[in-house]
Amino acid sequence: MANISCPGCGAQLVLQSPATIFVVCSYCRSTLIRDQDWTVYGKMANLPAEITPLQIGTQGSFKGEGFELIGRQRLQWANGYWTEWCANFPKGKTAWLAEAQGLLMISFPTPLPDEAKQWGELKAGAYLKMGNATFMIDDVKTARCIGSEGELPFTALSNKEITSIDASNPAGAFLSLELVPATGERRAYVGEYVEFKDLHLKNLRKLDGW
């Protein structure tokens, strides 16, 4: 954990993860990016309304390991929205809890599969190999960040464009690849669909009428 002082408003912010390089100040909504020091890159607008029981500070566990949600980015693509919550595990391990169309997925960073080094080749129906497992690409879509909050291990400024590739296998596991065309960043995550109750979540956001 590290304490920083928001260069925008002076508020004391406590960072949970050593991997954090991007912060949205919860007081003044300044977007801060770590370079040598923390620099203000503008202001983050309020996120559009949505109904989700998750919030920054929600704690849970996955396969016996505790985590806490420390940040999120919200994305929009041609056919809807999804949210990626950054889950901070002990010892600096980071996972992503994605919420899309009423489904929850948890995924962990993984080395890029060989096939993913040539992004242009990746189309729906193509195969990706990860160790012994083979994944088929379900879709390739372009998405746009429409807001972020908390702390994240990469920058998530509004309107950042990404290419998101979802692949799955019959066992229900999925592999997702994320490319940021503007910076050339490539990331791969491997994970699975999870049931809400299986994450043993607490400190949830209270929802009106629910």
Q: Residue 76, CB half-sphere, CA atoms under 13 Å: how many?
A: 10
Please state, in angstroms and rounded to a whole number, the distance separating the CA atoms of residues 209 and 66.
29
| 77 lies in the site for another protein, by CB under 8 A | yes
Stretch that binds another protein, among 28-36, 48-56, 89-97, 126-134 (CB under 8 A): 48-56
Binding to another protein (CB under 8 A) within 101-130 occurs at 101-104, 124-125
Q: Is 170 in the site for another protein (CB under 8 A)?
A: yes
Q: Is-contact 137 125, C-beta < 8 A?
A: yes
Which position among 36, 51, 118, 182 is part of the footprint of another protein (CB under 8 A)? 51
Check residue 16 for interaction with another protein (CB under 8 A).
Answer: yes
Q: How far apart are CA 145 and CA 128, in angstroms?
A: 26
Supply the DSSP symbol for 114. G
Among 64, 90, 131, 209, binds another protein (CB under 8 A): 209
In angstroms, the CA 176 to CA 165 distance is 6
User: Which of 111/200 has CB closer to another protein?
Assistant: 200
Applying the rule CB under 8 A, the residues between 125 and 164 that interact with another protein are 125, 138-139, 146, 149-151
* DSSP 8-class letter at 7: T
What SS3 state is found at 198?
helix
Site membership for another protein, residue 76 (CB under 8 A): yes
The token pair at 170 is: 């019959």
Stretch touching another protein by CB under 8 A, among 37-45, 97-105, 107-115, 179-187: 97-105
Placement of tokens 């879509």 in the chain: 141
- DSSP structural state of residue 201: -
- Contact (Cβ atoms closer than 8 angstroms) between residue 41 and residue 24: no
90 contributes a contact to another protein by CB under 8 A: no
Q: Is 27 in the site for another protein (CB under 8 A)?
A: yes
Taking CB under 8 A as the rule, does residue 168 contact another protein? yes
Say how many residues touch another protein, by CB under 8 A.
49
Torsion of CA 108, 182, 83, 187, to 10 degrees: -10
Task: Point out which residues bind another protein (CB under 8 A).
Answer: 11-14, 16, 26-27, 48-53, 55-57, 68, 70, 76-81, 101-104, 124-125, 138-139, 146, 149-151, 168, 170-172, 174, 193, 196, 205-210
